[in-house]
Amino acid sequence: MAQERLGMRSTREVLRLKFVLKRTDTEVAASVRCARSTVAECMKRAATSGLGSWEEIEKISDSELEARLYPRSAGQNGARSTRPLPEWSKIHAELRRRGNEKLTLSLLWQEYKADHPEGYQLTQFFEHYTRWKRKLSISMRQEHRVGEKAFVDYCDGIAITDPKTGEKRKTELFVGCLGASSYTFVEASFSQDLPSWLMSHVRMFEFFGGVPGAVVPDNLKSGVKSPDRYEPEINPSYQDMATHYGTCVLPARVRKPKDKAKVEAAVLVAQRWILARLRNRTFHSLGELNSAIAECLKILNDRVMRGISKSRRELWRELDQPALKPLPSTRYEFASWSKAKLSINYHVRLDDHFYSGPYTLIHQELWCRSTAETIEIFHQGVRVASHRRAFAKFKYTTDPAHMPEAHRAIAEWTPERITRWASKIGPKAAQVVAHIMKTKSHPEQGFNAALGLLRLSDKYTSERLEKACLRAIEIESASYRTIKTMLENRMESAEQPSRTTPPRSMSPGSDQLTLEIEQNVRGKGYYH
């Protein structure tokens, strides 16, 4: 087994206890907290080097004492030490690897000493590692746990040129990178709007081959509705996307550049290694530009980084890729969120179409989630309605379960059912009912008027209602109000005055009768 080697302070204490206090090896080992064999080895080296008294040892420096005790590992006359150094990039990677949270630099030093007994002591090991770490960039020096965070931001991109007009359209460059490996994703889009922002995240996760524990954006409006140092308000659609992928959003603090130093370095690298290389090329489409970016991005991620001696791709495979969460089984579909309230007819209006919700939630605050296929309505975070998206303007999509009992009973009626009921009263009643439902702009309005007309038979008898329907057809005013007025005033049996023109057709399919009630209803004396 390799012999333990003490630091110079501990070595001096061993020599002091032995030379001055004359303690035994066991007592010295207990005091210094080392093995008894280490004490014996230290005294053996002192004797070999000619150090025979404490007074002599006390006069020399630590470096000279080390040179005399360990002549093979310490340089002579100021010469550079030949003791082996570990590969600091591997030490650095081990400390950041997921599952190694309890791993310390002290333990790594013990492993180093087991392989290199003549190597550096703990204090010098720490100092050498600290010096190496200072040589890294600011973003590298931050302690990023593997698979923990992805940093995202925008910068100006390369303009797209219209091949016909020569007009240029600017683009935005989305940049994302993983914290531990600096593995970078870049793509161009025409805008920083919400759909572009979210779908760039989706493609970034797919490029990474997994999902980090958190996403750190700048306070872009598409991602953060209300920037705040302690409780920023995340855009609902952004939060929805994060929930779908099982991650979270941790916005960088306002005016705290160190929070996003990693992505700022990535943006700078993207500008130098991608935009600079493509600056003299002309692109006629976004797809063409992104294909060129992908080629440059491969070169960037495969390039060996100074100080690390590994490429971003190598570090990604070694560190981040095993630690990322798996992608969900389905790809995120862009969804927009908006506040809404149910109107008195228990419907919300979205893009000039009306969707029903539970009537018990009328006037309460709701949230609507809209995708290309579905409309979902939420109350206090619970989904209370879901509809297939419709695009017919000013039409209604209604779930019968959302209606009050009385309205649900009415909704069960169909034009055929109402016409069959009217035919039991008489052919003229059926003709009037068919005409009413034909002329109303909305089916529900026609149902209500037709059912109201047929219910008049309960109060005035079916015979009188049939006569009133006949008279309404003759005077070209087949409406609920006209027939109700006739029955109230017993006008349905009055003799009709002679006319010079025949009445218009009142077949069920006719839509010629358009005169208003006020124009057609005659006074009571007209029929006597």
- Which string of DSSP letters, residue by residue, matches 335-385? -EEEEEEB-TTSEEEETTEEEE--GGGBTSEEEEEE-SSEEEEEETTEEEE
| Residue 224 to residue 230: CA distance in whole angstroms | 13
Give the model's pLDDT for residue 171. 94
Q: What residues contact residue 219 under an 8 Å CB cut-off, 6+ apart?
A: 227, 232, 251, 252, 254
Give the model's pLDDT for residue 139. 43
Buried b (16+ CB within 10 A) or exposed e, 377-403: bbbeeeebbebeeeeeeeeebbeeebb
3-state SS of 461-506 is: CHHHHHHHHHHHHHCCCCCHHHHHHHHHCCCCCCCCCCCCCCCCCC
Residues of the chain with pLDDT under 50: 1-2, 73-80, 138-141, 226-232, 500, 505-528
Six-digit token pair at 353? 């179409």
Burial of 44 per CB tally in 10 Å (0-12, 13-18, 19+): exposed
Question: Which helix (DSSP H) or strand (DSSP E) does residue 41 occupy?
Answer: helix 36-49
Six-digit token pair at 218? 């700048």
Q: Are 517 and 477 in contact (CB under 8 A)?
A: yes
Q: Is 176 left (phi over 0), alpha (psi -120 to 50) or beta?
A: beta
Helices and strands of the chain, counted as H and E runs: 24, 16
DSSP 305: P
Distance (Å) of CA 382 to CA 356, 369, 376: 16, 12, 10
| Residue 324 to residue 147: CA distance in whole angstroms | 5
Question: Which helix (DSSP H) or strand (DSSP E) does residue 155 occupy?
Answer: strand 149-156
CA dihedral 459, 461, 462, 464 (to 10 degrees): -110
Give the model's pLDDT for residue 377. 93
Of residues 59, 58, 261, the one with CA closest to residue 179: 261
| Residue 91 to residue 308: CA distance in whole angstroms | 11
Give bridge partners of residue 385 from the DSSP assignment. Answer: 377
For 181, the 3-state DSSP assignment is coil
DSSP 21: S
Q: Are 251 and 232 in contact (CB under 8 A)?
A: yes
For 508, the 3-state DSSP assignment is coil
Q: Are 266 and 182 in contact (CB under 8 A)?
A: yes
Six-digit token pair at 331? 């790809």
| Residue 231 to residue 235: CA distance in whole angstroms | 13
Place of tokens 């916005």: 251
Give the model's pLDDT for residue 505. 47
Long-range Cβ contact pairs of 509-518 (< 8 A, separation 24 or more): 509/434, 509/438, 510/435, 510/438, 511/435, 511/438, 511/439, 513/435, 513/439, 513/476, 513/477, 513/478, 514/439, 515/476, 515/477, 517/477, 517/479, 517/481, 517/482
Give the model's pLDDT for residue 245. 92
Note the pLDDT tens digit of each residue in 122-163.
888 888 887 777 666 544 445 568 888 899 989 999 999 998
Greatest Cα pair distance in the chain: 149
Give the model's pLDDT for residue 94. 73
| Residue 136 to residue 92: CA distance in whole angstroms | 11
Of residues 245, 197, 200, 195, the one with CA closest to residue 219: 197
| Residue 188 to residue 186: CA distance in whole angstroms | 7
